[in-house]
Amino acid sequence: MTYYNIKNVNLTRTKIMATLGPSSDVMELARAGARAFRLNLSYGDIEWHTRMIERVREVEDELGLKLGVVADLRGRKLRVSVSRECELREGQRVVLETTSSLGTDSSSLNRIYLDGEVFEYLEDGV
């Protein structure tokens, strides 16, 4: 049977990951216990993300800690906007378009505004 000196065993398995934003203080977060830093690549630009990674590495050196950086890549985003209530029935024809229909004539009632990216995933049909 093996016995361990409990004082020398690292029992902490929980790690704190902090998401970095424009007002984040990496040093303060690391001192508070954060050991990994998340960058949401959907926001900001490459220069800002580069500065944040460099700052994490500076804090890592200053505190003598191993800190991780996680980059959250932007996934596919399909957005649908409904400017008014509409009820679709089976077999009803509708027009999907990338410009909003603000009219109230009968032709605009069968038009639905969609983000342009949506059309990459649709096929023409009848």
Q: Residue 16: inside a domain, yes or no? A: yes
pLDDT, tens digit, for every residue of 17-33? Answer: 999 999 999 999 999 99
Cα separation, 7 vs 84, in Å, equals 65
Note whether residue 1 is domain-resident: no
What average pLDDT does range 35-62 have in this prediction?
93
Which residues, at least 6 apart from 102, have a Cβ–Cβ distance to it below 8 Å? 83, 108
Residues 86 and 54 in one domain: no
Which amino acid would we find at residue 77?
K
Q: What is the pLDDT averaged over residues 68-80?
A: 76
- In contact, 25 and 32? CB cutoff 8 Å: no
Contacts of residue 110, defined as CB under 8 A and 6 or more positions apart, other chains included, come to 92, 93, 94, 95
Give the H/E segment covering residue 95: strand 95-97
- Containing 16, the helix (H) or strand (E) segment is strand 16-19
CA angle 62, 64, 65 (to 5 degrees): 115
Is the pTM above the cut of 0.75? no
Q: Domain containing 49: what range? A: 6-72
Q: How many domains are contained in the chain?
A: 2
The answer as to whether 101 is a domain residue is yes
State residue 57's pLDDT score: 96
